[in-house]
Amino acid sequence: MVHSILMIEDEPRIRNFVLPYLQKAGYAVDECGDGGEGLALAKTGKYSLVLLDIMLPGMSGDEVLRELRKTSQVPVIMLTARSEESDIVLGFDTGADDYITKPFSPRELAARVRALLTRAYPPAPAAPVVTCGPLALHGAALTATHGAEKLSLTPKEFDLLFLLCEHPDTVFSREELLSRVWGYEFAGDARTVDTHIKQLREKLGASRGMLVTVWGKGYKITAP
């Protein structure tokens, strides 16, 4: 299967820099430099993944993503010069699947694209149900419950919690989590893991203490 990618980026220099790497990796790539035009293209359903800059003419990337998420769950990687945690959290809360800050290497971007596509279009999970204390994660349905309450998780939050619950009391370093959940083959941004752990704790509410930080080593989950 040849995946089609839409790159919404208003800087021709960046588009020309990234395009050959994605094409060499075997992807079909369309590009545009306007937020409104990009939203219309993304809504066609023709693309497997969208690369979305935040600072765009017409509509901002945040606005494009917010509108797109009303009708589509196509994987989206945000491209931006903003690196503050609040900006990253906003992107994830709006529905972004990954977030890469400028400047970046096209090799890194291609690796993140590959990892996200692999995760977004996988075979059926091997383990159908994983439980840990009050948590139950159903791999086939990609749903998670906390007692009788259904948790609203992003795909990456689900994958991260699923992995931790599969191996209770096992400490995973940030690098291991980046490799096993995000599929990165290089030293990715550890803040991605930290941000998702923080969001999971907020969603677990009274059970947030199950997610344990092991200082200097990483994270684990412990059933109460």
Closest CA to 80 of 109, 64, 47, 103: 103
Q: Rounded distance, CA 27 to CA 75, Å?
A: 15
- Kindly list the domain boundaries of the chain, sorted by start residue: 4-120, 129-221
pTM, rounded to two decimals: 0.57
Question: Predicted confidence band at 102 (pLDDT cuts at 50, 70, 90)?
Answer: confident
User: Within a 13 Å sphere around the CA of 27, how many CA atoms are in the beta-carbon half?
Assistant: 25
**pLDDT digits over 126-184, tens only?**
557 899 999 999 887 789 999 989 999 988 899 999 999 999 999 999 888 888 888 75
CATH node for 4-120: 3.40.50.2300
Q: What does the pLDDT read at residue 86?
A: 67
In CATH terms, 129-221 corresponds, of 1.10.10.60, 3.30.70.260, 1.10.10.10, 3.90.1300.10, to 1.10.10.10
Q: Rounded distance, CA 131 to CA 221, Å?
A: 12
What does each C-alpha distance from 3 to 31, 32, 92, 139 come to in angstroms?
A: 14, 18, 23, 24
**pLDDT digits over 39-73, tens only?**
999 999 899 999 999 889 989 999 999 999 999 98
